[in-house]
Chain A
Amino acid sequence: MPTPLTHDDPYEFGSYRPIVRLGSGGMGTVYLARSAGGRTVAVKTMHASLAADPGSRTRFRLEADAARVIGKRHGAEVLDADTQADVPWIATEYVLGPPLDEAVRLAGPLPEASVRALGAALCGALGQLHSSDVVHRDLKPSNILVTAYGPKVIDFGIARAIGDEHLTRIGAAVGTPAFMSPEQAGGEEHTSAGDVFALAGVLVFAVGGHAPFGHGQTADLLYRVRYGDPDLRGVPASLVPILGPCLDKNPFRRPTTAQLAAQLHDGTGEFADHVPAVLLADIARRSAEVWLTTPERLSAPPDQPAETPTAPIARIPRRRMLLAASGLVLGTAAAGAGAWAWNRESGSGSQVSPAVGPSNSQVPKKQLDSIWQLQVADSPWGTVPAVLPLAVGGLVTLVAGQGLGGIDAASGRIAWTSDLMESHWQIATDGEQLVRMVEPEGSQQNAGKPGGFPLDLVSVSLVSGKAAEPFAQFTDFNGGISYNQVLCTADGVVYAVAGRGKYDTYFLASQSWSLFAVDISTGKRLWTKPLPARPDKSERLHFLSARVVGDILVGLQETNAGKVRIVARDTRTGTVRWDRPFDGVVPDRVQRPLATDSRNLYVGSGRLRALRLSDGTQVWDSTTARPGRTYGLPAVKDGVVYAVEKGHGLVAFDSDSGRALWEEQGNGGAKADLNAAPVIGTDYAYSKRSSALWAVDLAYHTPADSYKTTGDRFVAHEKAKVTIALGGHFLAAFPLG
């Protein structure tokens, strides 16, 4: 998701003006930019700090050259470049399609026909490079964009430069060498045959959903690449004899790209004929959304006039650059002082208390800025998963890329980042303590056997972000299964879901699943209850959301049929107290914290309903007070339920009776966003509409202020008195008054 330009982003790259940022990482920034004639392109820049190194600058130039060699059919067409500028840049066509890793995450492993078409096209791309004596050296799913007309290969030089750097630091948490050739892993020369090896790995990933040498610790992975047998599970039998020889350890025994293409290509149909509908829909979404992007630039902080170049970038400590490369990339959008600086705007109006008394104007006039904003991204093309940040102690924590970050909620200062936290569903908080699962290292297949690895539960230090020694360890679960889940924690007990049986990248019908409760102080399992098995290849977590109220654990469970059920259990025994369907909702839309008070659970997404926690009966329903209306997700505070009504805005209901207490005045709420629950402060309710967060006065029921943001998920941080917003690539804080 694009983010606004910062005040010190360049105003032009040759004949192109930047419009928004598409992403920013440790190496540089990618912009969407436009010519005077409206041609819309991607401009990739290299941070000035890296450009100061002549070697990096040379590699950037080589990347531009390589991208030109590969041409517009197989790559992103290079339109212009200036590799001698202070901030070197390359302008290429804006490619409409997701990277292959994202495509597989979205659509699941691709059918054989699309993988054959993909492979043949990639052979053409590599052949084009090799015939010009260029070797890619870093072919991997994230460097391949899938368009409606075939794949395009991107990212040559910078990624390679980084890869080399990583190799000298084995043991450090670095990008995955999962697609490296054995000769490259051994520090020998990687020739065109090395690219063939990488290509076969990419195709195994595309068709099987996993890299042929797995993932995990760099040193282990490099060892497996050099000496281990590839794991071809999930690869159709007809492809095994084609891809197997490409993964030969001896580069001279691998086929050429032309030979491989001839074996892969069946010559029938168009590329689009073989692309899964879900993937094509994502391509179409990108094709449409790029036209909705409008130029946006954040204003300069008051103590930093825009005219003054602020570029202390070269002074970023080296350690931080390394962390930036490791997956979790955080940087401010406002200060522009490199990936790890932060900025607190003071006096820019963001802290101004709204005027006392009813506002005459229904639409707040001036859109205010955030208190702080951080960039969060795992790659120039990546986005933050659909997850909410957690408020814990004075921190906000967020899982992005492969890291967990802890940010001081009041100041936006990054307190710590830790590596290797891949799954945002494996961490939970009661507001004071952070509990997570730790994915063990080694082979996932050994779990539960002697010498295998167990399921570990640990608490995370709020000071350092480091995991303590496990407080509980269970050898009867497979700790390696990615879909193990920490649901919630309350009153010293953590509730979790874990599986037994074989590991795979998705669910297996042969795995058995349990819900269980663990006492944090003793590490003892209090109870264990079976959950239904998931069908093979499912990737749907058992729980969308859960929380504890008194002695009830209430959760939204997704069934194998894709339906949602609301299930309440006794926290002491795990016995189901009640269980009812939650009809008419899209599971991913309700993957948000539940709105509960001591008596009821409130659910929206359609009509608004209150369900009694003790027995699940419906206490009231919004159709009584406001028939025919549709609501987003609710929030509840002090006996009042708040929700955004479609086409109208905020509406408040009495939590006991469902009586409508008030509705937002004016027509400013017509465009309110139904996907985010409102955040309720003491005097204001905050809800999203168009590209702004609005504060609606709880006493006068009129909008009082608006804050500029493209964020789409919001949570209250009560302790720091801020509303935390998360967008595709950033985290920001707004007042919570």
Chain B
Amino acid sequence: MHATGAANGRAQSGAAASRRIGPYVLITALDTPHTHIPVPERRYIARSEDGEHTVLLSVPLRGTAPHRFMAEASASRYLLGPFAAPAVACAAPGEAAWHARPYQPALPLPTALAVNGGPLSERTVCALGAALAETLAVVHAQGLVFAGVSPAAVLLTADGPRLSCFGAVRTAAPDGTPRSGLPGLEPGSLPPEQAAGGHPRPLGDVYALGATLAYAATGHTTPESEELPSGIRVVVGRCLSRDPANRPQVAELLNTFAADDQEPTGSGSEARSAALLRPGWLPNRVIAAIAHQSAALLATDIQRSAVTPTPAFRQN
């Protein structure tokens, strides 16, 4: 069960309805297992009991430390920028770990590749690169390191990506502990220094971004150089340098991906990726699948608990 199949969402909602997490009733899983891309958390589309609030709900993978998961969720609430996906609701202390944010129709990047029937075009990859570089620039300017950029962390909405899974690397294991091979961490997008247990630093995000864009362009995070489209070959290759000192800065990435942007605003504070995210930036079938997901969730009724108190009369 995953969120691209409308019929799935509805037909199986009855089964999922028996499951609830925090104040939410689960409707469907967001990720499809068929892509074989690790996801650092379990993600569901869920709805509050009163039917009013539909959310994207995240819970830690089994075996990961819930307190680290919650610490990252808590920190993510302060993320800024148009493409960040901060948590807006969190589990109470003592409750099983979860965090949630309002639902937006979106496909995880690996699902989008599956829907598209293969890698995405260079235009899409450049738009993604610009938007994600812009987001990381804001994160870094806030004094934070994302430490969780990976293919599954990128959710595609029709108006741009949303970067989820903040702090997935720090959640997986504390600094000083090797992180290679841990569940949920996609190996190609884990920077070597973080795999060795190093403290995540901004240039690690650059490595992970390079791997994620490589995935979008080729279908895997560790491509041969010639597999990459010529326009992004050099810059993605530099992102994937083992030595952080050889990786480009986020600002340089933004300049590279947004190079075709014909409308600099002068002030520099407008989103530079906006021009790249114009209609047509995503393949038609991906947009259609996003709309389909929205329609399926609109049509879904959750099963509420057996006994719901109903007021006998209403006072206006």
Chain A contact residues, CB within 8 Å of chain B = 11, 34-41, 77, 93-94, 96-97, 147-149, 270-273, 275, 277-278, 280-281, 283-285, 287-288, 290-291, 295, 306-307, 583-584, 606-607, 623, 628-630, 646
Contacts and interface: CB of A to CB of B under 8 A. Distances in A.
B301 interface: yes
B238 to A, nearest CB: 28
Nearest to B17: A37
B316 A307 contact: yes
Contact of A281 (B158, B264, B294): B158
Contacts of B157: 284, 288
Interface in B233-272: 263-270
Interface residues on B, range: 35 or more
Contact of B279 (A34, A281, A583, A628): A281
B273 to A, nearest CB: 15
Given A148-B291, A280-B288, A290-B298, 10 more contacts: A36-B304, A37-B47, A38-B54, A38-B302, A93-B295, A96-B298, A97-B291, A148-B292, A606-B270, A607-B267
B314 A288 contact: no
A280 B125 CA distance: 19
B307 to A, nearest CB: 13
Contact of A11 (B265, B295, B302, B314): B314
A272 B269 CA distance: 35
A482 B294 CA distance: 37
Contacts of B104: 288, 291
A294 to B, nearest CB: 8
Contacts of A93: 295, 298-299
Residue from A34, A37, A41 having most chain B Cβ neighbours under 10 A: A37
B52 A280 contact: no
Contact of B266 (A281, A283, A306, A606): A606
Nearest to A12: B314
Given A36-B51, A284-B158, A291-B54, A584 B269 contact: no
Nearest to A605: B265
Contacts of A147: 291, 295
B304 A291 contact: no
A38 B47 contact: yes
B50 interface: yes
B284 interface: yes
Given A40-B298, A628-B268, A629-B269, A291 B51 contact: no
Contacts of B294: 96, 287-288, 290-291
A284 B298 CA distance: 14
**Shortest 6 CB-CB distances between A and B: which pairs?**
A38-B51, A284-B158, A277-B280, A37-B301, A281-B279, A272-B288
A295 B52 CA distance: 9
B300 interface: yes
A606 B265 contact: yes
B105 interface: yes
Interface of B: 47-48, 50-52, 54, 102-105, 157-159, 263-270, 279-280, 284-285, 287-288, 290-292, 294-295, 298-304, 308, 314, 316
B51 A35 contact: yes
26 contacts: A11-B314, A37-B47, A37-B301, A38-B52, A38-B300, A39-B51, A39-B298, A93-B298, A96-B291, A96-B294, A96-B298, A147-B291, A149-B288, A270-B288, A272-B285, A275-B284, A277-B284, A281-B279, A281-B287, A283-B287, A284-B159, A284-B290, A288-B157, A291-B102, A291-B105, A606-B270
A288 B104 CA distance: 6
Contact of A584 (B54, B263, B280, B303): B263
The majority secondary structure among interface residues of chain B is loop
B279 A280 contact: yes
Contacts of B292: 148-149
Contacts, number: 135
A584 B266 contact: yes
Contact of A284 (B47, B269, B291, B308): B291
A272 B291 CA distance: 11
A94 B285 contact: no
A273 B270 CA distance: 32
A36 B51 CA distance: 6
A37 B158 contact: no
A77 B299 CA distance: 10
Contact of B285 (A273, A284, A290, A291): A273
Given A96-B294, A283-B291, A584 B265 contact: yes
Contacts of B314: 11
Given A291-B54, A628-B268, A37 B287 contact: no
Nearest to A287: B294
Contacts of B48: 38
Contacts of B285: 270, 272-273
Contacts of B52: 34, 38, 295
B103 A291 contact: yes
B284 A272 contact: yes
Residue from B105, B267, B268 having most chain A Cβ neighbours under 10 A: B267
A287 B51 contact: no
Contact of B301 (A39, A290, A291, A607): A39
A94 B291 CA distance: 12
B67 to A, nearest CB: 31
B287 A284 contact: yes
Contacts of B50: 36, 38
A277 B279 contact: yes
B142 to A, nearest CB: 14
A246 B292 CA distance: 33
A10 to B, nearest CB: 12
Given A38-B51, A629-B269, A287 B295 contact: yes
Nearest to B102: A291
Contacts of B158: 281, 284-285, 287-288
B304 A628 contact: no
A630 B270 CA distance: 7
A111 B204 CA distance: 46
Residue from A94, A287, A628 having most chain B Cβ neighbours under 10 A: A287
Nearest to A15: B301
B301 A35 contact: yes
Nearest to A279: B279
Contacts of A281: 158, 279-280, 287
A607 B292 CA distance: 40
Contacts of A271: 288
A11 B264 CA distance: 50
B124 to A, nearest CB: 12
A285 B52 CA distance: 20
A37 B302 contact: yes
A280 B300 CA distance: 23
A291 B298 CA distance: 9
A278 B281 CA distance: 10
